[in-house]
Structure 1
Amino acid sequence: MPGRSSASPPGKRDGPEIHFTEVTRSPRADFENLFERPGAPKYCWCMAWRHLPSREHVESDQKKRAMMALVDAGTPVGILALIDGKTVGWCSVAPRRTYRRLSRQQDDSETDIWSIVCFYVPRALRGGGLAAALLDAAIEHAFAKGARTIEAYPVDQASPCYSFMGLRNMFVARGFHEIGMAGSRRHVMRLER
């Protein structure tokens, strides 16, 4: 698991050192606090791409309970970014099998694939390289945990939706290559070890 980063895209981030930690039972409270802040994604709890018993009319408190059950069960769900001890960002990175189907061409017989499906960076910190630093840490984390392939589903810069899944150019800059599309906006991209 990556511990820290002082730069993300070359020459992009000058400032405090960023530390990263996997979401497990011990930093669970930091994860909950991040998602419950004003403007945070507490409406989804990053369950949009995960398995739920029902997808209709699921309240945010039910989504939170489902996410916390995954954390408590030891299921990988993602990583947190911390600056000066304060949790400031999130990236959902986990084995692809822990998500529901992410693209039509997905081959479920493939193994050792991890997926990156979501980023959360508070509005006040956007544009400073934190998402790129989270991506770098997510890549390092997934490979350290045994991934042979990392798959992501980013959109183009001009896309009006799904930007929480990351922007395509950020993945291209790290060597990801496109293998297809998931719907009309999401690119299916991979990085192999």
Structure 2
Amino acid sequence: MSIVSIEPATAERWDDLENLFGPTGAYGHCWCTFFRRRAKDHTASTSCERSMRGVDNKEELRRLTLDGKVPGLLAYDEEGPCGWVSVAPRDDFIRLARSRSLRPADPTEPGVWALVCFWLPPRRRRRGLGSRLLDGAVEYARAGGARVLEAYPVDTVGGRAPSAEVYTGTVEMFQRAGFTLSGHHLSERVVARLELKTE
């Protein structure tokens, strides 16, 4: 199947997002709120607590769409929603500002957007859909007035990593898309940045 369109995840498309993520909320009840919340608001120690936290995470993501925010983009093919990418102004992602391994060198730098997550159903993986979503995220950030798009990919040189470990994308994917890669100023993480030319 080929992608028909990539659309903002608005409140009107909530049912599509909910169906795409399924009952477990994509990655273990996360509902793509991991970077939008402080650690203590997102973690839980028991399976029951994780399940309840998943409900909270889902409601948090739903609330964002009802408040008129766009937490990410949905890809569609002929069968319906088939992929997700979370992209928004960097300030929307509270955890980035507090993270020891991803904290921005200049948190006041204007016009920076961040791409923090991809999610594809297992049967859609390894078909180039992630790269198409990345292209859509670049165009969406540019249209939204971003000056820079930043991401935090995983280096998979030396072998494949489980899908749950590469939810931020791979270094190779961002290299192909023209991003500049550098080491984080406080950690061993890779930071990918793309300067966006706006009209």
Fold equivalence (TM over 0.5): yes
Distance in 2, Cα, partners of 1:42 & 1:26: 24
Cα deviation, 1:80-114, whole Å, max 9, x if unaligned, reads 00001510100001110000242134422111111
2:65 aligned with 1:65: no
Counterpart of 2:86 (choices 83, 92, 99) is 92
What is the identity, as a one-letter code, of the residue corresponding to 2:30? C
Distance in 2, Cα, partners of 1:70 & 1:150: 21
TM-score by length of 2: 0.81
Contact 1:46 / 1:92 at 8 angstroms: preserved in 2? yes
TM-score by length of 1: 0.84
1:55 CA drift (Å): 3.1
1:189 CA drift (Å): 1.0
Distance in 1, Cα, partners of 2:72 & 2:3: 20
Contact 1:180 / 1:188 at 8 angstroms: preserved in 2? yes
State the SS of the aligned residue for 1:49. Answer: helix
2:146 — aligned with what? 147
CA RMSD of aligned residues (A): 2.1
Contact 1:78 / 1:92 at 8 angstroms: preserved in 2? yes
What is the identity, as a one-letter code, of the residue corresponding to 2:190? H
What is the identity, as a one-letter code, of the residue corresponding to 2:74? L
Distance in 2, Cα, partners of 1:77 & 1:38: 18
Contact 2:25 / 2:58 at 8 angstroms: preserved in 1? no
Contact 2:11 / 2:65 at 8 angstroms: preserved in 1? yes
Identity %: 37
**Could you list the runs of 5+ residues in structure 2 that have no partner in the other structure?**
45-49, 97-101
Flag the structure with higher helix content: 2
1:44 — aligned with what? 30
Distance in 1, Cα, partners of 2:81 & 2:131: 16
2:165 aligned with 1:171: no
Matches within 5 A, 1:1-80: 16-36=2-22, 40-41=26-27, 43-52=29-38, 54-57=41-44, 59-80=53-74
Distance in 2, Cα, partners of 1:50 & 1:69: 12
Tell me which moved more, 139-148 or 151-160. Answer: 151-160
2:118 aligned with 1:124: no
What is the identity, as a one-letter code, of the residue corresponding to 1:98? D
State the SS of the aligned residue for 2:133. Answer: helix
What is the identity, as a one-letter code, of the residue corresponding to 1:68? R
Contact 1:89 / 1:130 at 8 angstroms: preserved in 2? yes
Distance in 1, Cα, partners of 2:36 & 2:195: 23
1:18/1:42 CA distance change after superposition, 3 Å: farther
1:183 CA drift (Å): 4.1
Contact 1:93 / 1:116 at 8 angstroms: preserved in 2? yes
**Could you list the runs of 5+ residues in structure 1 that have no partner in the other structure?**
1-14
State the SS of the aligned residue for 2:36. Answer: coil
